[in-house]
Every structure is written in C-alpha cells, then in structure tokens.
Amino acid sequence: MGGRKKRQRQAVGKKSPALDRISKVWVPRTGGPGRFVLQSGLGVGGMCEVCSAIDLRRMECGDPRPVVAVKRLLPSLVDNRKAQLALAREFFILRHLTHPGVVRVFDLHREHWGICFSMELLEGASAYSILGEHPSGMGKSGIVAGRKIFDILDYLHAHGVTHGDVKPANIVLEQDGRLVLLDFNVTQFSARPGLASSAMSRGLEKSLHVPAYSRLHSSPQMLCGAAPSPSCDVFSASCTVYELLSGEHPFKMLPADEAATRKLEPVRPACLPGRQWKWLRRGLSFESRDRPSPRQLLAAFGERSWFKSVS
C-alpha cells in the first residue's frame, strides 16, 4: 500500500463557559486509588490514548464484564486546559448519539492521572490494521463496509453532526460484523430543534478548532483551512471506502490539494460495479458541490446490512 505518514495533533481553540467551569473541577491530581486499573494500550493519537481498563466499581458490584475502554490525555497534555476541554467536549457530544455505528460512552471521570471518559470495549480490529494484513483490500466485503460507513454519516448529518476525521484508523470492524466509528474530537455540529445537536449545543462551542485530522483523507477545502462540513465527511469516507475496496489510496498517497493540482484521476476498483463506482467517484470529487450526500451513496451501495459479516 505504501507508507502512511504519522499525523501529529495539537489541541487549540476557544473557551466555552460551561466547559471552562468543568475543567476547573477535573484537574489532574496525584496519588490515591482510582476507579480504573489500566491494562493494555489500544491506540495512541496526537492528543489522547485509549487503554483497556478494569472498572473497579463494576467489579465491586459483581459485573461479570468489568473491563472497559478508557480515553485519556497523553501525559504531556494532562495539564493543558484546551486539551481538557476538547476531551470533555468529545464525551458530551458522544453521549447524545445512539447508533450501532457510533461508539457508546459511559461517563466522564477524574483519575489521579487526569480526566478521562469510559466507553465500550470493542472486540475487533481497526480498518487500518485490516488493510495492513490485506494489502489488496477487502474486495466485495469492502462494499458492505462502505454501506455501513455511509449509513453512519447519514445518521450523523441528519442530526446536525459532522465527524471531521473519517479514516481507516478511526473505524473498527468487530467479529460479529458491526462497524463502529471512533474519535469525535474534531466534530462540529449545528443545533437543530428536536435533534441530538440541540442537546449538545447547551453550553458547548460548536467547534474547538482542533486541527487533528488526517491529511491523506481530508478534502481540499479542509486542507485549505475550511472547517469540516458534511461534504468534507463524504470525501473522507469515500477515500476510506476506496482503500477498503482496493487496498490503495485513491490519489497515490497524495493529499487532495496536491492531487487536485496534478489533476489525478482515481481508477475504478476491480470489485466495484460501474453504477456504484459512478457514485463513489462523485464522492471523491475535489469540488464540494459535486459530491453526493451519504444517503445517496447508501442507496447506491444497497440497503442497510448491520448484521452481515464483513470478514
């Protein structure tokens, strides 16, 4: 597949009054027992890391499955106010989203090593690691995975939420066929009455402007400084689905702005029928106005199929 560049992330942004009050409470403390016993690391980004952990409160109450996932700030950022706000904001957004393709969160906590939030422990592998094991892609199973990705985006956008960083590393494929989207720390939303985004908007900034997205999967608009938009999500998702289908990046591992300058044209994956390729190719358009909606892509890729295996 070629090399993949490591993305460094930085936590910057505006203060939100509600989050500012919260961050004064959840400051890192040292010493003393905590609720979680951290086990193995599951993933590391530029701002946070995710670990499996034993929840001692669940164990005390006799829960037969006391192991959860915990997302916490990197040691170098535990005292960074903006990073604290970004992590808390991600939890506040996720708790309002209920969809099988969105990771479930439990609660926000303070441990002696800083603030964190607990969430379900997923049993599967990231699309990034699957592509490493299958350099030629997932073939037709990638069509099923693509259908699920577009279904998730259709749900998010219908609720006024833009993910902002769809890429293989932020997607987990579980053994039962469930596909889950992770990492909502650059998410933006527009408040709409009666939807999840309306509840999110109470005291939260629509964005903390954390530039933590993947250059290889970002739209030309985002690479030029524009805020994430639903159309940008479609571009990132289309790049990701293309990789799942073929094992290759649609623009030869070049960021979209450079690919647009060189006028590169992606080649149809051999496993993808012409009608579906027509819609996926539109999703890879450099111009945002030419991209279809997730619902149109979902229709092109077929009906929802949450319980079909993608193995």
Q: 């919260």: which residue's tokens?
A: 22
In contact, 114 and 28? CB cutoff 8 Å? yes
In contact, 214 and 166? CB cutoff 8 Å? no
Strands 114-119, 105-111: pairing is antiparallel
Return d(Cα 99, Cα 187) in angstroms, integer: 16
Confidence band for 213, pLDDT divided at 50, 70 and 90? low
| Token pair recorded at residue 188 | 């933006």
pLDDT at position 301 is 93
The CB density around residue 198, as the number of other CB atoms within 10 Å, is: 16
Candidate CATH numbers 2.60.40.10, 3.40.50.460, 2.40.160.210, 1.10.510.10; the one for domain 124-301: 1.10.510.10
pLDDT at position 46 is 82
Return d(Cα 280, Cα 141) in angstroms, integer: 16
Per-residue pLDDT at 25 exceeds 80: no
Per-residue pLDDT at 283 exceeds 60: yes
Q: What percent of the chain has pLDDT over 70?
A: 79
pLDDT at position 214 is 82
Q: pLDDT tens across 34-77, in order?
A: 899 999 999 988 889 999 999 999 999 999 999 999 999 999 99
**Mean pLDDT taken over the chain:** 84
Of the candidates 75, 68, 80, the residue with the CA atom closest to the CA atom of residue 35: 68
pLDDT at position 302 is 85
Q: How far is the CA of 292 from the CAs of 127, 170, 259, in angstroms?
A: 23, 22, 20
pLDDT at position 296 is 97
Confidence band for 32, pLDDT divided at 50, 70 and 90? low
pLDDT at position 211 is 52
Q: 């990046």: which residue's tokens?
A: 249
Domain ranges of the chain: 36-119, 124-301
Question: Domain 36-119 class?
Answer: alpha beta
Asked, colleague to colleague, whether 36-119 and 124-301 share their fold, the answer is no
What would the mean pLDDT of 209-229 be, rounded to a whole number?
Answer: 84
Per-residue pLDDT at 33 exceeds 60: yes
Q: pLDDT tens across 117-157, in order?
A: 999 999 999 999 999 999 999 999 999 999 999 999 999 99
pLDDT at position 307 is 37
Per-residue pLDDT at 278 exceeds 60: yes
